[in-house]
A and B are shown apart, each in its own frame.
Chain A
């Protein structure tokens, strides 16, 4: 049970029904979230701040722009805003569609306090993780960009798991030169341990995967 939340965590509530919106606002505020409420999608999009991780509680049926369209719009900001979808009557079709859109949870009204708080908490955490990941990705990408072409080549073979001798033989240079490159790479990429190497590689891989996917 979430007893208290960080006031830095912002939750956007997009719900056209006044009663429901107010009760959600009250519930989230009571545990410490900063809550911003909107009766429709466009006004939310106008005000939302994507610079920090956040969560949006979105009603499926909104006047004008539907919750699903809003969800799609929010998703295009690198997952910094995680969405919890709520609905008056959740038909399976829209629930499936919402999950495909990457919403954290799909709550059917009348949902309970705990369910709402848990979902919002999870969403915030997810958004934060996404945020951290994307920050890290940006940093690693930036570091990677500082490698010289030869260093990048050596890094590539390191990534495939080859040892210095093997790399030297492939590239036709002395193992010593390879070691010089390796220390340069370790310096530039902030690689202190083999574990860190694995992490950097996974981040780069993830980024590549995402680029292929999108």
Chain B
């Protein structure tokens, strides 16, 4: 057992200054020493605890001088202890970067010194080029009697949290702005089909447009709206309602449909798409209505342009074949004239029997019919409108082409042979366009056979069924063939080896084949060239 004593000796003197005696006292101070030691230990421990926490703790005198602080603020900011201790807090490197901040800190400390408290967020520099955001609070520190003796300050680094919050806010703003900027109308429907979120386009959607999705603000049951419109006979609303129900009832994860409607601005086209909302909880659906009118119009325009191009090419072909048509018409006309004049004379001279006369007149009628057919074919071929597709026998298509081309072949001394299947082969095509392709191929064939040849020129047009669902029509010649280099480019637009011509013939032919779900291919060697158009066979609807 150790005890602590306090020893004290006092010398006593008389009036003359002569020492009289020495009085010594020994006081047992064990209790006092132990108490003091315990206090010290407590203080050190507290210090240690304060130094280990991440938060910043500071003790200030009432005038704002920093008396003591834990290690954290120094470690975190790089400010040295001697730069801060003993200074007014607002004079320290933590806050002296801005008079406004300094004032704010001084006011807060003063407020605490007067018994109030203050808490706010403020920036503190780290090193030379970075800042952290702290959440700082000042409180008065009172002694047991309740008198304010110090101000205590706490602060926490909230930079991370601040950044996360900012990012989140930015992301939200981004999403919101983006969604609002989109021309597509977007809404989220809850499990009942009620509108829960919308973007600006959805909200701004003119009520005048469609009867069934007119003004559906948040909270309105959109599914019911569509079903109501569907009941009024609006077919696209019915399809939309069905799509929404399919997704909400988990039969499908998404749907997509195109529909049109008549508005004050004319016919408008929409693409509506519904996608299951990928979040936990009850099934929801993201609904998007995109205005695809311009796309549709562009498509229509493309189609129009394509047909105009086809037509222009046909007219050009006709022009080049005018001699052929004239010849085709001249034949029956020549016969008609001879018969008519012969009959007139025969009647006059009475040399013609009425039977013979009748026969000649019948012949004339038959010939005019033939003329009519030629003219009809011509007009049909030159016509600008787009006749619908029809079911035709390929033989019929080919025969007319041969009629058109007969003269051109003959005048070049070329024999044109046709090989057709025994039975009719039906295709569902735009006859004129297919004839245009065949005419084009046949004319190319005629031109490929050299004029100063030493062998007989021949063109063969052949049709045969290649598989159970395809027929091919080929045009072969025994001309000079196409070299490998040219072959690579024959389907390029505006590529031509002829001195005249636009170079669009084969391109257009290929495009026509493709619009019929077919294809155009070519084989060539020194012995000649074969082009073949492959077309799907017409299938009798079951």
Contacts and interface: CB of A to CB of B under 8 A. Distances in A.
Interface of A: 3, 16-17, 19-20, 22-24, 26-27, 30, 61-64, 66, 86, 88-89, 109-114, 116
Contacts of B45: none
Contacts of A24: 338
Interface in B326-379: 326-327, 330-339, 341-342, 345-346, 349, 351-352, 360, 363, 367, 370
B202 to A, nearest CB: 69
Contacts of B327: 61, 88-89
Nearest to A22: B335
B411 interface: yes
Query: Top 4 nearest A-B pairs by Cβ distance?
Result: A23-B335, A113-B341, A88-B327, A109-B334
B481 to A, nearest CB: 24
B415 interface: yes
Nearest to A27: B338
A89 B330 contact: yes
B407 interface: yes
Given A62-B410, A64-B415, A110 B336 contact: yes
A68 B528 CA distance: 28
A116 to B, nearest CB: 7
Contacts of A116: 338
Given A30-B342, A30-B351, A61-B407, A111 B337 contact: yes
A116 B342 CA distance: 11
Given A88-B327, A109-B331, A23 B338 contact: yes
Interface residues of B, number: 30
Given A19-B367, A30-B351, A62-B410, A89 B326 contact: yes
B335 A20 contact: yes
Contacts of A27: 338, 342
A89 B323 contact: yes
A26 B330 contact: no
Contacts of A112: 337-338, 341
A88 B335 contact: no
A113 B335 contact: no
Nearest to B338: A23
Contacts of B334: 19-20, 23, 86, 109-111
Contacts of B332: 19-20
B116 interface: no
Interface in B303-343: 323, 326-327, 330-339, 341-342
Given A89-B326, A111-B337, 11 more contacts: A19-B335, A22-B363, A23-B335, A26-B338, A26-B360, A63-B415, A86-B334, A88-B327, A89-B323, A110-B337, A112-B341
A113 B346 contact: no
A88 B415 contact: no
20 contacts: A17-B331, A19-B331, A19-B335, A22-B335, A22-B363, A23-B338, A24-B338, A61-B407, A61-B411, A64-B456, A86-B334, A88-B326, A88-B331, A89-B323, A110-B330, A110-B335, A110-B336, A112-B338, A112-B341, A114-B341
A66 B338 CA distance: 24
Q: Which of B331, B351, B367 gathers the greatest number of chain A CB atoms within 10 Å?
A: B331
Contacts, number: 78
Contacts of B345: 113
Nearest to B351: A30
Given A64-B415, A64-B456, A26 B323 contact: no
A96 to B, nearest CB: 16
Interface of B: 323, 326-327, 330-339, 341-342, 345-346, 349, 351-352, 360, 363, 367, 370, 407, 410-411, 413, 415, 456
A109 B330 contact: yes
A26 B339 contact: yes
A23 B349 CA distance: 19
Contacts of B326: 88-89
A89 B326 CA distance: 7
A19 B335 CA distance: 6
A109 B333 contact: yes
Q: Which of B335, B339, B415 gathers the greatest number of chain A CB atoms within 10 Å?
A: B335
A97 B331 CA distance: 22
A112 B363 CA distance: 17
Nearest to A66: B413
Contacts of B349: 3
A109 B338 CA distance: 10
A89 B335 CA distance: 15
B338 A63 contact: no
A21 B337 CA distance: 13
B415 A113 contact: no
Contact of B410 (A22, A63, A86, A110): A63
A212 to B, nearest CB: 31
Contact of A113 (B342, B351, B410): B342
A16 B367 CA distance: 16
Contacts of A3: 349
Nearest to A61: B410
A66 B345 CA distance: 33
A30 B341 CA distance: 12
Nearest to B352: A30
A198 to B, nearest CB: 44
A19 B360 CA distance: 12
Nearest to B359: A26
B330 A88 contact: yes
Contacts of B338: 23-24, 26-27, 110-113, 116
B111 to A, nearest CB: 113
A111 B334 CA distance: 6
Nearest to A19: B335
Contacts of A64: 413, 415, 456
Contacts of B333: 109-110
Contacts of B330: 88-89, 109-110
A139 to B, nearest CB: 40
Nearest to A111: B334
Contacts of A61: 327, 407, 410-411
